[in-house]
Chain A
Amino acid sequence: MENKKTILIIEDERSLREALRDKLTREGFSTLEAKNGEEGLDVALREHPELILLDIVMPVMDGMTMLKQLRENAWGKNVKIIILTNLSDIEKIADSVKNEVYDYLVKTDWKLEDVVTKVRERLGE
């Protein structure tokens, strides 16, 4: 494959997931999708994306649980994560990940193009 960076989108709302996918693809990224934390963990550990866009409130396994488990993995410990949620509660975050370095974006406050900018920023482009 070309030097396209892969972004894993973990989001349970189909319409939002597809909007992100379409935009990121248009912007030149390769994308992967998952509908919940469990699927997302699976895909992440298998495909090793460059960056993960992670929603919090999801069925089966929520974002925080997935994050915790991901960080226990040797590769997962270092993968870049942007939390993309509509919860405005930083308190939702488990203590174990409180010192994480990640971005926390509230979806309603962020335009798609700004999300893309953030993604590029995190990837060091």
Chain B
Amino acid sequence: MTSQTPETFYKSIFENMTDGLAYCQMIFDAQKNPVDWIYIKVNKNFEKLTGLKNAKGKKVSKLIPGISASNPELFKIYGQVSLTGKPERFETYVAPLSRWFLVSVFSPQKNFFVALFQNITDRKQIEKNLEDARIAAVNVLDDLFVEKSKVETAKAKEEAILMSIGDGLITTDEKGNTIFINKAAEKLLGIKNEEISGKSFFESTTIENEEGVAVPLEKRPIHMALATGTTTTTTTTTTTGPTYYYVRKDKTKFPAAITVTPVILSGKVIGAIGVFHDITKEREIDHAKSEFVSLASHQLRTPLTAIGWYVEMLQSGDAGVLNDKQNKYLSEIYTGNKRMVELVNALLNVSRIELGTFVVEPEPTDVVLLARSVVDEQKSQIEAKKLKLSEKYAKDLPLFNADPKLLRMVFQNLLSNAVKYTPKGGAIEFALWMVKGGESVDVQKADEDSIAVKVTDAGYGIPKKQQNQIFTKFFRADNVRKKDTEGTGLGLYIVKAIVDHSGSKIWFESVENKGAIFYVTLPLSGMKKKEGAKALI
């Protein structure tokens, strides 16, 4: 460094320092308030940092219009510094210049001040961005926290629900290995989740049938659901399907209603969810109900038997010869008694139907043979009324899987109605034929290959207004009530119940006083076997 004069030295500092420097004189008003200042000298960077040219000698109020409004603190601070001599350091945003400055100001002599400043607009922007980012991050965190709470709450809720539902719940993977069982399942089965989790459910638990024989793997509900990919239900009431018993760890067992639904993702079975509950109570109630019905019918029948047998003995002359009138009156009693017996039988069937406790035991049946035998039973009635009966049975009807007792009841009811409600000399037809799936029978279409049954009569018919009630309990249309007081009103109800329970269909066409045609379609897939407690009589 060459020697230089102090003045040159300071001048070079002045000119080259990176801070902006302004040497100013403060201006006060009459009340001694700082209102303006004059730039006496500014360095090179002053212009660079402020963008203000030729500041020297100018008042700030002229140089930066609006500065006293936008930055009154500058006047206050500069005024104070130039009076007290106490230096200050501060940051401020000068709106007219749209810049942030970091200012250091001191006073070399009274009423004068020197301000050194840096443009910190960039730093300020960075700081703001950082702050914004921080705020955004905090918001995101908050949101995440809220979501997490929501998820956790939902999860907790689900767990609570699963844990507390009264039904036992079992979840397995696609192989039948236990994933999870809930509290109710633990309690019902007498095992803990930890004991069986991960192991095959079929090995950890045993199901027995009514006879106490262990149910094989293929018949286990979870296995069936996994294998077929469809919901599998065992007994949901006590009277449909086989009753399965879960065997507890302590070897005691209980009857259960089990429903298993496979879990399917993208077309593949990935597991199963089984729900079951103890149906001991329901079974007891059902048994009590059946017992009641049986007992009630037994009680009703005993006096009816007595009446029937004693009238019979009287009419046989066992207690002496009767005159005509006596015989006639006894006949009336006997007839009345017979009707009561029929009614009790019908009521018993109705109760069984409503409880759902009747059996359907299908076996290969020759329906034509059955039809002929039913017609045979009606022969005397048909002859007495001089009715013209035509039987139209197709030649090659296949054996039909039906419960012959139930099918007989269907035929009997339809035929006896035709005979009963057709006046003397009328015509009846009984027809059986085969239809293919999709073919029409009257106004209906057969869903699958079926045997069609048609019973036609030329009787009183069913009034249009009452046709929708014909299958309801105890219903007898007004027109036949007027003519014939016999009839329980239960026959068609029972027929419909049998048809409904065995997967068949029944419907009719009728015009009052013209007659009626009853149709039944019996799908060749046969009556579905239905286990239950009682046979219909």
A77 to B306, CA, bound (A): 31
In the assembled complex, which residues on chain A have CB atoms less than 8 Å from the CB atom of B297? 86-88
Q: Does B341 contact A (CB under 8 A)?
A: yes
A17 to B403, CA, bound (A): 36
Q: Does B310 contact A (CB under 8 A)?
A: yes
In the assembled complex, which residues on chain B have CB atoms less than 8 Å from the CB atom of A15? 306, 310
> With A86-B301, A87-B298, A108-B344 known to touch, is A19 a contact of B306 (CB < 8 Å)?
yes
Q: Which residue of A lies closest to B349 (CB)?
A: A88
A91 to B294, CA, bound (A): 11
Q: Does B316 contact A (CB under 8 A)?
A: yes
Q: Does B529 contact A (CB under 8 A)?
A: no
> With A23-B318, A108-B301 known to touch, is A89 a contact of B294 (CB < 8 Å)?
yes
Contact (Cβ within 8 A) A91 B344: no
In the assembled complex, which residues on chain A have CB atoms less than 8 Å from the CB atom of B341? 108-109
Map CB proximity to B onto A59-82 as digits: 1 under 8 Å, 0 otherwise.
000000000000000000000000
Q: Which residue of B lies closest to A13 (CB)?
A: B302
Give which listed residue, B295, B304, B313, B318, contacts A108 with CB less than 8 A: B304
Q: Which residue of B lies closest to A114 (CB)?
A: B312
Give which listed residue, B294, B310, B534, contacts A19 with CB less than 8 A: B310
Please give the distance in Å from B156's CB to the nearest CB on chain A. Answer: 50
Please give the distance in Å from A11's CB to the nearest CB on chain B. Answer: 10
In the assembled complex, which residues on chain B have CB atoms less than 8 Å from the CB atom of A20? 309
Map CB proximity to A onto B9-49 as digits: 1 under 8 Å, 0 otherwise.
00000000000000000000000000000000000000000
Please give the distance in Å from B137's CB to the nearest CB on chain A. Answer: 76
> With A108-B308, A108-B344, A109-B341 known to touch, is A86 a contact of B313 (CB < 8 Å)?
no
In the assembled complex, which residues on chain A have CB atoms less than 8 Å from the CB atom of B316? 113
Map CB proximity to A onto B149-183 as digits: 1 under 8 Å, 0 otherwise.
00000000000000000000000000000000000
Please give the distance in Å from B492's CB to the nearest CB on chain A. Answer: 21
Contact (Cβ within 8 A) B313 A19: yes
Contact (Cβ within 8 A) B304 A22: no
Q: Does B115 contact A (CB under 8 A)?
A: no
A107 to B298, CA, bound (A): 10
Please give the distance in Å from B376's CB to the nearest CB on chain A. Answer: 18
Please give the distance in Å from A53's CB to the nearest CB on chain B. Answer: 13
Please give the distance in Å from B379's CB to the nearest CB on chain A. Answer: 20
A90 to B301, CA, bound (A): 16
Within 8 A of B (CB), among A1-56: 13, 15-16, 19-20, 22-23, 26
Q: Which residue of A lies closest to B319 (CB)?
A: A22
Give which listed residue, A13, A22, A90, A107, contacts B313 with CB less than 8 A: A22
| A-side interface size class | 20 to 34
Q: Which residue of A lies closest to B300 (CB)?
A: A86
Q: Does B535 contact A (CB under 8 A)?
A: yes
Q: Does A112 contact B (CB under 8 A)?
A: yes
Contact (Cβ within 8 A) A88 B537: yes
Q: Which residue of A lies closest to B342 (CB)?
A: A108
Please give the distance in Å from B303's CB to the nearest CB on chain A. Answer: 8
Q: Does B533 contact A (CB under 8 A)?
A: yes
A92 to B533, CA, bound (A): 10
> With A16-B306, A23-B318, A26-B318 known to touch, is A112 a contact of B301 (CB < 8 Å)?
no
Contact (Cβ within 8 A) B294 A111: no
Please give the distance in Å from A81's CB to the nearest CB on chain B. Answer: 19
In the assembled complex, which residues on chain B have CB atoms less than 8 Å from the CB atom of A86? 297-298, 301-302, 305
In the assembled complex, which residues on chain B have CB atoms less than 8 Å from the CB atom of A85? 298
Within 8 A of A (CB), among B275-329: 294-295, 297-298, 301-302, 304-306, 308-310, 312-313, 316, 318
Please give the distance in Å from B403's CB to the nearest CB on chain A. Answer: 14
Within 8 A of A (CB), among B333-357: 341, 344-345, 348
In the assembled complex, which residues on chain A have CB atoms less than 8 Å from the CB atom of B313? 19, 22-23, 112
A109 to B302, CA, bound (A): 11
> With A19-B313, A88-B297, A89-B294 known to touch, is A111 a contact of B308 (CB < 8 Å)?
yes
Contact (Cβ within 8 A) A107 B305: yes
Contact (Cβ within 8 A) A16 B298: no
In the assembled complex, which residues on chain A have CB atoms less than 8 Å from the CB atom of B535? 88-90
Please give the distance in Å from B172's CB to the nearest CB on chain A. Answer: 36
In the assembled complex, which residues on chain B have CB atoms less than 8 Å from the CB atom of A23? 309, 313, 318
In the assembled complex, which residues on chain A have CB atoms less than 8 Å from the CB atom of B533? 91
A29 to B304, CA, bound (A): 25
A16 to B310, CA, bound (A): 9
Contact (Cβ within 8 A) A91 B309: no
A113 to B309, CA, bound (A): 9
A5 to B295, CA, bound (A): 34
Nearest first, the 9 A-B pairs at minimum CB distance are A86-B301, A107-B305, A19-B309, A15-B306, A88-B537, A108-B341, A108-B301, A86-B298, A112-B309
User: 28 pairs across A/B with beta carbons < 8 Å?
Assistant: A13-B302, A15-B306, A19-B306, A19-B310, A22-B313, A23-B313, A26-B318, A57-B295, A57-B298, A85-B298, A87-B297, A88-B294, A88-B297, A88-B345, A88-B348, A88-B537, A89-B535, A90-B535, A92-B294, A106-B301, A106-B537, A107-B301, A107-B302, A108-B304, A108-B305, A108-B341, A112-B313, A113-B316
Interface residue ranges, A against B (CB under 8 Å): 13, 15-16, 19-20, 22-23, 26, 57, 85-92, 106-109, 111-113
